[in-house]
Amino acid sequence: MNDDMILICREVCRSTGKIAVYPLLDTKPTDRNLWALQLRSRANPELTYYATLKIRWDSSKLRDDIISVLKRKSLSDKSLERLGGIASI
């Protein structure tokens, strides 16, 4: 991975079920950081991480599509496939 990629967090609040989706702007997509995020999501199942191209995130329409899909209560692999260009970490 390189600087052309951006990491995105999907966080589900345990008490309310509200879903937040936000980019991890201070986290570089390095092998070490990806490994750390995988461990963190295993320890905290309410946190899920994704990676996409930065150019896709910078496009407002694509960013809105990504946020819309990730904010769904039931997120399936098929919906991520249809969205395209995003990978679960």
**Domain around 40:** 5-88
For residue 49, give every residue at least 6 positions away whose Cβ sits within 8 Å of its Cβ, in sequence order, or none: 7, 8, 9, 10, 24, 37, 38, 40, 41, 88, 89
pLDDT band at 78 (very low <50, low <70, confident <90, very high): confident
Q: Is the confidence at residue 1, as pLDDT, over 70? A: no
Taking a C-beta distance cutoff of 8 angstroms, is the pair 79, 69 a contact? yes
Q: What is the pLDDT of residue 14?
A: 92
pTM: 0.88
Using alpha carbons only, how large is the chain's radius of gyration in Å?
Answer: 13
Q: What confidence tens digit (pLDDT) does each residue in 17-65 have?
A: 999 999 998 888 889 999 999 999 999 999 999 999 999 999 888 999 9
- Domains identified in the chain, total number: 1
Q: Is 56 left (phi over 0), alpha (psi -120 to 50) or beta?
A: alpha
Query: What does the pLDDT read at residue 2?
Result: 60
Cα(58)–Cα(52) distance, integer angstroms: 11
Q: Tell me what pLDDT residue 38 has.
A: 95
